[in-house]
Amino acid sequence: MYKIISKKELNASVTQMEIEAPLVAKKAKAGQFIILRVDEEGERIPLTVAGTDPEKGTVKIIFQIVGATTARLNHKKEGDFLQDFVGPLGEATKTEGIRKVCIIGGGVGCAIAMPVAEAFHRLQADVTGIIGFRNKEIVILEEEFSRCCSRLYVMTDDGSHGKAGNVTIPLKELLEAEECFDEIIAIGPLIMMKFVVETARPYDIPVTVSMNPIMIDGTGMCGCCRLTLVKEGERVTKFACVDGPDFNGYEVDFDEAMSRNRMYNDFERHAYEETCNLFKEAR
Amino acid sequence: MAIIPKKHVMPVQEPELRAHNFQEVALGYSAQIAIEEANRCLHCANQPCVSGCPVNIHIPDFIEKVKEGDFEEAYAIISKSSSLPAVCGRVCPQEKQCESKCTLGIRFEPVGIGYLERFVADHHNNESFSDPVPVETNGHKVAIIGSGPSGLTCAGDLAKKGYEVTVFEALHKAGGVLVYGIPEFRLPKKIVEKEVDTLKKLGAKIQTDVVIGKTLTVDELFETGYEAVYIGSGAGLPNFMKIPGEALKGVYSANEFLTRTNLMKAYETDTMTPIMKGGKVAVVGAGNVAMDAARTALRLGAEKVYVVYRRSMEELTARKEEVEHAKEEGIEFRLLNNPIEILGYHNLEDPRDPKNGFVKGMRCIRMELGEPDASGRRKPVPIEGSEFVIDVDTVIMAIGTSPNPLIKNTTEGLEVNSKGGIIIDENAMTSRQAVYAGGDAVTGSATVISAMGAGKKAAAAIDAYLKQL
């Protein structure tokens, strides 16, 4: 069992928790993920590590309440326990040889982008941050980003905070002004990552994306998280849990990944409604 | 006394009934039938059956005790050689092992050794409440990676010798393939739990939620005081055919389909784990895993289940008993058929159609058997122009697995072969001192009992190694 050391609401639908998991805390690096189960009958869900405190033995996770399991997770209080918490899984984000990086986070994806930005900042790389949200109410981690970015662009779809528009607008402006990034790292909804790739394509700058497919074991056993890379016209199957979650954005078949992520939409909607009703009754 | 030419029939749930539930298919011998079956054993002098058993159970001796009605003593004899009798009695391919060597089998049907083993183990589990007593510790610590059949066997043998054993399991539940892979109707999970409990009572520790190679490395195990390590991490990555359409929604690896059902209990009504149920299902492949997947799909409510295999019944690798059970349940075998493409539903007029991207069929080609290939089996050759489409909603790929690279990638000096299997010497030791390996991590996909045999051999080697230190 893994104790919830602290819990903080970042916005109405995004929560941050610190979980006591000393072995994971000692090992986890930016870009890696964990798999947790809330309770004995719960499903296994992957969440990317949002930070660690190896001394305290804690791992920070940030999650959006999107379905039954995240609703159950959010129902847990400080001092409660999680049934399972295993990791760190996947490969860490590669930082070698990158001196100037543009990190793009979208929505709750910023929770994953933030530790990556911090990692580069600690390595004294020059970090440009672009973070995007639907509106002012759901902006998260702006302060944390501003601490590790030499420049930070905050975008909202409706212009209620920062500038209006999506993250590709400042990216395009920077690229047009001949900004030479060693790497662009995009973390967020699949559709956002796809458009970041398309924006960067004419400029021939490497783009790394962090994939978030459905998973079960997270150790390469089930193959549920497979995605397709297109390398020189050839289609290659990769497992996000062991080969990723980071991939070369130019190679990822995003349309296929988006379709696969919708596989259980009906089931999930139903399970979510049931969970919400359950919690309502409990109140 | 005249010899009874045939094995006593195993009572089973009727096919029409069992095709719709997850309860065990085979019901087990009664004490009376067990004694009658035991009486068929000739107790011949050369005991060829023992050499046919990967863990060398003293088969005629335990059968002798069954004849006498001393079932507990029979259990004690089996336990000396096997850590998981109730499991082996159910899932071992006895027809290829002990029973294939049975002297009686030369003229008649061999003795039902597997059925008797199962009877003895079940009798013990139901009737005996004496807990195993932990052996006094010898102060040596051994780490076992993976709690599947191979790891559990190795751990059991070492614990019985007084070693302080810790088993590290990546998943949240111990048992490996016995809990995530083999379905409830063939191996009830409470039997696996019982075996794991017995191991714990022997003093072995089981740590779930630890992925060796990620949470801890093999080197860190040595740093924290373990003197030997056994890698029994299993086969890992599922293979796909590399044909178009394998990323469509509704295409599963058998590992995923079975894990969702068995480990994550997707067959229960109030489950949190989704799985595609009903419709028409094609399982590609014809090993035991394919049979498990096909029969699971049927029990989840499929209206039609096909097993699609590119060779013929002759070359099929699943146990005969499982194939017979599958056929009785109504599973259709499409032999000498090879999939070449999985077809998806794509509504070009409505990109938001929720059915978009789901499987709607599978294009296959008919095959004929040519000359024997490297495996000694006749090689299937496509018949030109014989392509056809089967209507299906779900496709399950059960065509084997490749070794998982997690441990290899994080353990310096650990050598693997061209297929990724860990290389071991005749003492089960890897290229790293004091690191042993066995089971599917070494051989690639194989059987529960061969993994157990490997775990047993490694335990003896680890014992010898640590004694001479």
Token couple for B441: 């991590």
CB A32 within 8 A of CB A17: no
Q: Does B262 touch chain A (CB under 8 A)?
A: no
For chain A, positions 82-121, list CB contacts with chain B under 8 A: 83-89
How many CB contacts within 8 angstroms connect chain A with chain B? 112
CB A156 within 8 A of CB A132: yes
The hierarchical CATH code for the domain B240-397 is 3.50.50.60
Residue B469's pLDDT band (cuts 50, 70, 90): confident
Token couple for A140: 């998260």
Partner residue opposite A27 with nearest CB, options B215, B273, B274: B215
Residue B74 to chain A, least CA–CA distance (Å) = 37
Domains and CATH numbers, chain A: 2-89 (2.40.30.10), 93-210 (3.40.50.80)
pLDDT tens digits along B42-71: 999 999 999 999 889 999 999 999 999 999
- Phi and psi based region of residue B17 (left: phi greater than 0; alpha: psi -120 to 50; beta: remaining): alpha
Q: Does A228 touch chain B (CB under 8 A)?
A: yes
**Sheet hosting strand B251-253, strand order edge to edge:** B251-253, B394-397, B280-284, B304-309, B332-335
CA distance B409 to B80: 37
Q: Does A23 touch chain B (CB under 8 A)?
A: yes
Residue B393's pLDDT band (cuts 50, 70, 90): very high
Compute the mean pLDDT over every residue in chain A, rounded to the nearest whole number. Answer: 92
CA distance A142 to A209: 21
Full-model pTM: 0.93
Partner residue opposite A68 with nearest CB, options B246, B260, B272: B272
Residue B227, φ and ψ in degrees, nearest 5: -100, -20
- Quote the Cα angle for B219-A215-B252, to 5°: 115
Pick the CATH number of B25-127 from 1.10.540.10, 1.10.3470.10, 1.10.1060.10, 3.90.930.12: 1.10.1060.10
Q: How many alpha carbons fall within 13 Å on the CB side of residue A151?
A: 12
Tokens 């409440």 sit on residue: B129
pLDDT tens digits along A220-269: 889 999 999 999 989 999 999 999 899 999 999 999 999 998 888 888 88
pLDDT of residue A281: 67
Asked if the Cβ–Cβ distance from B170 to A228 is below 8 Å, we say: no
CB A103 within 8 A of CB A233: no
Token couple for B276: 């595609």
pLDDT of residue B1: 61
pLDDT of residue A276: 77
CA distance B271 to B268: 5
Tokens 């390996």 sit on residue: B437
ipTM of the complex as predicted = 0.92
Percentage of chain B beyond pLDDT 70 is 100
In this model, does residue A167 exceed pLDDT 60?
yes
Same fold, B141-236+402-467 and B240-397: yes
Residue A143 to chain B, least CA–CA distance (Å) = 31
CA distance B462 to B430: 12
Chain B, nearest residue to A86 by Cα: B209
CB B440 within 8 A of CB B419: no
Residue A21 CA, chain-centre distance (Å), reads 20
What's the CATH superfamily of B141-236+402-467?
FAD/NAD(P)-binding domain (3.50.50.60)
Residue B351 to chain A, least CA–CA distance (Å) = 11
Please list the residues that pair with A11 across neighbouring strands: A14
Q: Does B410 touch chain A (CB under 8 A)?
A: no
Classify each residue of A189-224 as buried b or exposed e, where b means 16 or more C-beta atoms within 10 Å of its C-beta. bbebbbbbbebbeebebebbbbbbbbbbbbbbbbbb
Classify each residue of B53-67 as buried b or exposed e, where b means 16 or more C-beta atoms within 10 Å of its C-beta. bbbbbbbbbbbbbbb
Give the start-to-end residue ranges of the domains of chain B: 25-127, 141-236+402-467, 240-397
In sign, the C-alpha dihedral spanning B384, B385, B388, B394 is positive
DSSP letters spanning B126-145: HH--PPPPPPPP-S-EEEEE
pLDDT of residue A59: 97
Q: Does A44 touch chain B (CB under 8 A)?
A: yes
| Mean pLDDT on B67-89 | 92
Element (H, E) at A52: strand A45-53
Partner residue opposite A267 with nearest CB, options B259, B264, B274: B274
